[in-house]
Structures are given as structure tokens and as C-alpha cells.
Amino acid sequence: MSFRTTKPLLERLYQLFHHEDRLLILIDADPDSIASGLALKRLLWRRITTAVISHVRPITRSQNDRMVRLLNISLTPYKEINPSEYNRKAIVDSQPGHHENFAGHRYDVIIDHHPKLPDSEARLLDIRPEYGANSSIMTEYLRAARIKPSIKLATALYYGIKTDTSNFERPAIEADVKAFHYLFEFTRKPLVRRLDYAELSLPMLQYFQQAMRRYRVRGNRLYTFLGTVPSPDILVILADSFLRVEEISWTIVGGIYDDKLIVIFRNDGLRKNAGRLAQAAFGKLGSAGGHASSARAEVPLTNMEKDMPPWSGQWQVWQDFIIQRVEKRGRLAAAEGK
């Protein structure tokens, strides 16, 4: 698909809204979703009464926080809004099944690049799992609308593509490259560099130390479990970091957050499927899925009462549990296409 073939979808989008509409745009904040929310808001500028971007989880990752501050992006936490005050609702870069705060709403618009979930329904449903970044899709909408992005919007979309494709190390298609190239001339390169260096903070280093003490290697797979963490983002950062080890093709990093077991999957993208592995290992216990090279599982601790003792710091038991779920015969073979 291209911005030319996106034009019919743009026309449908415009047909859904009227001037008196109030739109709530829900996101699970990361650079790609923040940029996508900004793009949808720009597309509907002056066409509706108001549009508010609301993030369903607190922003704790320094990369996301710094993006919001440096680009002066207006976001409202979900707990501070009353959804009933908005007669129109949208999700970008996610779907209703991805978080409990997305559930229970009727959506006018869902635009996403993750695999389609069964409960994803909207008046305009645009899901393109072949795309590396949702920002690429939103860039096509802007081009179809003949909207020249501002420096702020272009930088956000550019950075969204950059991070979600991991500088095109993760799977992407020609449309992602075209969108990235198109946005390049509108961005501020020093600003992008400042955003790039927002990944770590000093308090995070203790979790690197903890992960280094606890990691276990099985073949080409590195596992580590951190126990209680202040944000799942540290698990993502560690999974990406450990994948740089030459002998490692898979990283599986777990932790406890908000009364849930969170497990992050990463691989080198060579004939592997992280989403398939996450679903096979944890799908029956909670929510799980993702892309070929990156995936995530979230399991409420209440769903594990038959399998595990209550969480009280016994990290080795929980790490062994994760290893057993992932290594079970047939799961890794299926994930690696064997």
C-alpha cells in the first residue's frame, strides 16, 4: 500500500467525523504510538471540536518521557479523563485486546501494524501487520491528505519509525523506507540525536547489575528474571541490550509489574517468530503475541496460582518457570520454523 492507495481510507476517515465531535485517541505510549496519535490529531485538525491523546499506562521510560518534553507533546493520563465526555474514540498503534483500559469502548478508528486480534472492530479498521512501524502508515495518511508535517510532527514520526524498526534492523517493508525518507527533510537532526540518547538513567543501572548476576544461557538463548520492576520498559531495554551478545540469538527477560508476570522476547530475526513463541508459551495463561523478532506476554498473577507460589522474591523459581514454559519441546521448533 502507498499514500495513493491510502487515499480511499482517508476519505472514509473524514466521512466518520463531524465538526461537533469530541475524539479520544488512546495509546500505550511509546515513540511510535505517540507520533501516530499526533498524526491522527493533525489529520482531523479543524474538522472536529477537540481531540485528546490519552496514554493508558504511566510514562516511566526515559526515552518516552524525554520525547514528550522535548517535542512539547500534550498527553493526558487515562485515569484523568472521563471517556464518556467523548463521543468518538480511536486507537493507534494498538488494539483493544492489548490492554484492559482499551477494552469496553466502541471504536470509530483503529489504525495499527500489529497482527489483528479477534475483538478488534471499528468503523474504520486499518491494520497492516506487514509494516514495521505505525508511523509509516500515518505518514501515508498525511501525504494522501496533502498535509506537510510540521517539524514537531515530522520529527515524532521519523523517530517512531526509527525506534520501532530499530534503525531497520527489525522487519520492515519498502513503505517504511519511503516514509522515513520522506520525513527526513522535515526533521531537526540535532533533536533526533537528543532523543536517541534518552534510553538510560542512573537508577536503571541496578537492574543491569541484577540481570548480569542472574542470567542463564540455553543454547543460543539468554534468560534472565528481575523480579519486581518499576516499569516493564526496563525489561525491553535489557532484552534489546543482551541481543548484542555475539553468541545469543534469543533473549527472554521477565519481571513482575502491576501484579502481572511480564515476559519480553527478542531475537535476531533469522527464521524465527517471537510472537508465535510468546503465544505458545504463555497464551493460555494471559495475553501474548507480537512480531517475528519481538513479542511480549502479560500474565496476571492470579492466573498462576495453580502453577506458582505467591510472588515473594524467589526469583530463581520464577526464572525456572519461564525457562520451562519456553523450552518445552516443540515450542522453540515452531518459533524457529523447524
Give pLDDT, residue 63. 79
Give pLDDT, residue 338. 60
Cα 109 from Cα 292, distance rounded (Å): 25
CB atoms within 10 A of CB 154: 22
Q: What percent of the chain has pLDDT over 70?
A: 95
Residue 312 or 109, more confident: 109
Q: Specify whether the CB–CB gap between 88 and 74 falls below 8 A.
A: no
pTM above 0.75, yes or no: no
Helix 151-164 vs helix 134-144: angle between axes, to the nearest 10 degrees? 150
Mean pLDDT of 267-271: 85
Cα 17 from Cα 46, distance rounded (Å): 11
Topology (CATH level 3) of domain 205-335: Diaminopimelate Epimerase; Chain A, domain 1 (3.10.310)
pLDDT tens, position by position, 242-266: 999 999 999 999 999 999 999 999 9
CATH topology of 3-196 equal to that of 205-335?
no
| pLDDT confidence bin for 122, thresholds 50/70/90 | very high
Q: What percent of the chain has pLDDT over 90?
A: 76
| pLDDT confidence bin for 20, thresholds 50/70/90 | very high
pLDDT of 64 strictly over 90: no
Give pLDDT, residue 306. 87
pLDDT of 330 strictly over 60: no
- Of 137-141, 173-177, 317-321, 333-337, which range is least confident? 333-337
For the chain, give every domain's residue range.
Answer: 3-196, 205-335
- Among the four given CATH numbers 3.90.1640.10, 3.40.50.1000, 3.40.50.10420, 2.60.120.1440, the one describing domain 3-196: 3.90.1640.10
Cα 180 from Cα 158, distance rounded (Å): 6
Give pLDDT, residue 188. 83
Residue 189 or 137, more confident: 137
- What's the mean pLDDT when you consider all of the chain? 92
